[in-house]
């Protein structure tokens, strides 16, 4: 080994680079309003599940045909249709979770209804431009908190109608072609029988005579809403606003003999129709209250004193 050594050092530098391995884009937690369940993997690992080596899932890579489907899978109806086209044995239904109403909403509903298809239900969670899919193993458990009924609930995956009775659920599920889903089918009408087609009011003993009645009609004009006014959290889209433009009412009085008499009426067209309507009703109610608070004197006929003796 030589005894040579440098006389001086012109420059000395140390460069450090952070190691950034390739990994997932980030964790997407489940919505806070979704019921907490024991979630699991599609193919649970039996030995050392905390490790989850990738080679354990290698044999499942070819289980589904993902040809011409982008990865990660976007939230798109044409993509779901392409997936079913590539996998003809699968019937796919994709749901979304509505945080405000704490319930399921449809995202995609398959047209394959027969029992020969393997039913796959997915829950998609979106956050800005990212999305994550969770498999739903039991729809009935997911909607357990939808009502106060603490027994098992049975959910139709096509119309999202919840049944508390298994017998009624099986009757609804027997013919899936009648249930076209919430987006395609109206409610099933129930026509009354010949014996029940006429409704007649018979509880006259429960009626209470009203000395005054007010019949009114409020007219409105429709105005288009701006996008800012239509902004809301619900899925209901408001298109127009009703602005009151006029009103009319009539006050009817009924005496003890069942005779009706019109005591007052009013008609108004112009601005501030709603405020004007409320003010006029308050005036009418004040007059009615004054009339009811001063009852008329009883007029007795000659034979009434003996028929109705009073002390």
Taking only the tens place, the pLDDT of each residue in 171-184 is 877 765 566 555 45
Length of the chain: 311
Question: DSSP E strands: which ranges in 53-145?
Answer: 90-98, 103-109, 118-127, 130-135
**pLDDT for residue 38 is more than 60:** no
Percent of the chain with pLDDT over 70: 75
Q: Give the bridge partners for 246, in sequence order.
A: 219, 269
Each residue's pLDDT tens digit, 102-150 = 667 778 888 777 777 888 888 888 877 778 888 888 777 777 766 677 7
Residue 44: pLDDT band (50, 70, 90) is low
Predicted confidence at residue 281, as pLDDT, reads 94
The DSSP bridge pattern shows strands 118-127 and 90-98 to be parallel
Residues 6 or more apart whose CB falls under 8 angstroms from that of 34 comprise: 97, 102, 142
* CA proximity to 133, closest of 203, 66, 59, 56: 66
Predicted confidence at residue 269, as pLDDT, reads 94
Predicted confidence at residue 273, as pLDDT, reads 94
**pLDDT for residue 101 is more than 80:** no
Predicted confidence at residue 108, as pLDDT, reads 83
**pLDDT for residue 93 is more than 80:** yes
**pLDDT for residue 285 is more than 90:** yes
Q: How buried is residue 224: exposed, middle or buried, by Cβ count under 10 Å (0-12/13-18/19+)?
A: exposed
Angle at 208 between CA 206 and CA 214, to 5 degrees: 135
Q: Which of 14-23, 81-90, 193-202 has the lowest mean pLDDT?
A: 14-23
Could you tell me if 89 and 58 are in contact, meaning their C-beta atoms sit under 8 angstroms apart?
no
Predicted confidence at residue 233, as pLDDT, reads 45
Predicted confidence at residue 191, as pLDDT, reads 78
């Amino acid at each position: 080994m030589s005894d040579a050594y440098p006389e001086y050092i012109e420059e000395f530098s140390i460069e450090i680079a952070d190691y950034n391995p390739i990994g997932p884009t980030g964790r997407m937690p489940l919505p806070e309003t979704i019921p907490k369940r024991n979630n699991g993997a599609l193919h649970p690992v039996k030995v050392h599940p905390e490790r989850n080596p990738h080679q354990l899932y290698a044999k499942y890579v070819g289980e589904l045909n993902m040809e011409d489907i982008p990865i990660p899978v976007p939230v798109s109806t044409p993509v779901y249709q392409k997936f079913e086209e590539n996998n003809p044995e699968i019937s796919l239904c994709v749901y979304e979770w509505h945080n405000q109403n704490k319930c399921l909403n449809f995202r995609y509903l398959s047209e394959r209804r027969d029992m020969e298809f393997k039913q796959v239900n997915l829950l998609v969670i979106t956050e800005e431009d990212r999305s994550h899919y969770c498999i739903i193993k039991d729809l009935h458990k997911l909607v357990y908190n939808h009502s106060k009924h603490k027994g098992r609930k049975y959910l139709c995956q096509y119309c999202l109608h919840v049944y508390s009775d298994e017998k009624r659920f099986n009757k609804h599920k027997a013919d899936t072609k009648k249930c076209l889903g919430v987006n395609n089918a109206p409610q099933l009408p129930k026509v009354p029988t010949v014996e029940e087609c006429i409704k007649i009011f018979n509880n006259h003993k429960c009626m209470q005579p009203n000395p005054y009645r007010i019949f009114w009609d409020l007219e409105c004009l429709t105005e288009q809403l701006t996008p800012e006014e239509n902004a809301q959290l619900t899925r209901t889209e408001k298109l127009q606003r009703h602005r009151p433009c006029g009103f009319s009412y009539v006050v009817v009085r009924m005496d003890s003999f069942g005779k009706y008499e019109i005591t007052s009426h009013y008609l108004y067209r112009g601005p501030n129709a709603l405020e004007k309507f409320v003010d006029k009703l308050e005036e009418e109610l004040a007059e009615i209250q004054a009339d009811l608070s001063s009852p008329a004197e009883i007029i007795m006929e000659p034979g009434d004193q003996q028929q109705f003796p009073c002390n």
